[in-house]
Amino acid sequence: MNKKFTEYSNFNLSDINKEMLDRWNRLDVFRKSLEERQDADTFVFYEGPPSANGMPGIHHVMARTIKDIFCRYKTMKGFLVNRKAGWDTHGLPVELAVEKSLGITKEDIGKKISVIDYNKKCREEVMKYTREWEDLTVKMGYWVDMANPYITYDNRYIETLWYLLKDLYAKGYLYKGYSIQPYSPAAGSGLSTHELNQPGAYRDVKDTTCIAQFKIKDPKPEMTGFGTAYFLAWTTTPWTLPSNTALSVGPEIEYVAVRTYNPYTSDKITVIAAKALMSSLFNSKAADLKLEDYKEGDKLIPYEVAGSWKGSELAGMTYEQLIPWVNTGEGAFRVITGDFVTTEDGTGIVHIAPTFGADDDKAAKANGVPPLMLVDKDGNRRPMVDLTGKFFKTEDLDPDYVKKYVNIDLYKEYAGRFVKNEYDSSLTAEDSTLDIDLAVMLKQQGKAFRIERHVHNYPHCWRTDKPVLYYPLDSWFIRTTACKEQLVALNKTINWKPESTGSGRFGKWLENLQDWNLSRSRFWGTPLPIWRTEDGKEEICIGSVKELYD
């Protein structure tokens, strides 16, 4: 009986691997598998390229093994499978490695080092571990053409991207937009929604939260008669409170006016919150206590409902600016309605900071509420937080603007403070955060109803492992939403294994598809082939180097 496969008396996988590799190399099997199928139908394979500025790991072996299975299967089915290797040479990891080796930050590029020299260093850095990758490729028996790879910094590759971008531009799918986007101060770049969907990007963190008291300027009769009337709004990001310009209520949610005492100052107050959340805001053991029997320091604080309204009846009411550092002008500090408001947690009233939340921005624009914007020394309108993740320093703002609109005495203590300690290398987990200091300030001013630590899910930059902000940015987008229905339909034709992958995580992502934030604020990358005049009235997109010269 002929043996189809070699039998081994000693099962030593390492020796078997070496023996098989030697046989494949001796017989030149990979090359011959291509030569024998030159006239066959082709199965196109371009490897999703690794980056050679980092050492290969076991996860790369696993991923490449899966790729290899499909290529070998197609070869066995008679297809010509030209396996094209590639190198991903652009991206943040390369820049971070270069900046670390040179002892510079992104802000130093163009000052301490020219952009040309910086990009030259990136080109050197990115191919650092090529030999290690090629050695791994051979040892694991991964068949791929390493001699003729595509390289993303190669002008031929970049020109291919230009061709595709021009095609998208001509179809109206490539556009410049200004919107609230995920932004990584540590990376100095915006992130796409796909990047935020990377495994581990969202993680549970314990932050200081605050239920702030917003003093009502035009209280309804039932809101008067017992201290000062306030709207209660909860936030897990107290650093956004100085940028508040509106409060949002659910139009169909029932709200109540509750007479009680501030737990920190013992002042008489009447607060407005959702009726459905009363049990989380007030201790039920104090329900039968009389207001007049309360004494400062009592653990049980009495409360009494004085009136109720639908959210739609509160719309249009006004309140005083919570943290009056900056004069926003007309139209701010009003109650508006929003369908995104729920009674799952908090107070049922959402604090709106249009510069730091997509829902906030959309709701504010729909109701004519202005965002709180500063003017920097170059005359640009900017949010209160700069691109490095800190409150603007006054010296970086327009002097005339500061003189007219900024209360220096109140703002100076917090100017230059990072909104997250992770952005400041000099701070540790033991240092006080801006959130804590702002919450304490409100507590001392009698504007805090509750301050506590709270575990919540927060997005992090998958490249730097540091928190992400939602931030107003100018970016170029691909209008993927224009093909959303087609993408969802085509996804259902894919034979997913397991099926739940396509209908679950990936399917849900498609159903909630957002336009793709394509551009990055970096120096080492594929340049977008778009030129536009400063006033934005004229614009041209090119698709080749020839077009650039012509």
pLDDT for res 513: 87
pLDDT for res 427: 87
Cβ contacts of 190 within 8 Å, gap of 6 or more? 181, 182, 183, 184, 471, 473, 475, 517, 519, 520, 521
Contact 354, 360 (CB under 8 A): yes
Rounded to whole angstroms, how far apart are CA atoms 175 and 169? Answer: 7
Rounded to whole angstroms, how far apart are CA atoms 367 and 268? Answer: 33
DSSP secondary-structure letter at 385?
B
pLDDT for res 164: 97
pLDDT for res 267: 96
Rounded to whole angstroms, how far apart are CA atoms 229 and 254? Answer: 17
DSSP secondary-structure letter at 217?
S
DSSP secondary-structure letter at 396?
G
Determine if the peptide bond prior to 498 is cis (ω within 30°).
yes
pLDDT for res 271: 98
Query: Helices H, strands E: what count in the chain?
Result: 18, 20
Q: How far, CA to CA in Å, does 242 sit from each of 182, 336, 442?
A: 20, 18, 11
**Mean pLDDT per 10-residue section of the chain, whose length is 550 residues:** 68 88 94 94 94 89 95 96 93 85 88 93 90 93 94 94 97 89 87 78 92 97 96 97 97 97 97 97 94 93 96 97 94 95 96 94 93 93 94 96 96 96 88 95 97 92 90 90 94 92 89 85 90 86 92
Side-chain-side CA neighbours of residue 107 (13 Å): 5
Does the 202-459 domain belong in CATH 3.40.50.740?
no
358: amino acid identity, one letter: A
pLDDT for res 3: 58
Q: How big is the CA angle at 84 (ends 78 and 86), to the nearest 5 degrees?
A: 160
Sign of CA dihedral 228, 233, 236, 242: negative
Four-way CATH pick for 13-89+127-153: 3.40.50, 3.30.70, 3.30.410, 1.25.40: 3.40.50
Rounded to whole angstroms, how far apart are CA atoms 116 and 126? Answer: 16
| DSSP, residue by residue, 3-51 | -SS---SS--HHHHHHHHHHHHHHHTHHHHHHHTTTTSPB--EE--PPP
Ranges of each domain in the chain: 13-89+127-153, 174-201+465-479+515-549, 202-459
Residue whose C-alpha is closest to residue 89's, from 56, 53, 116: 53
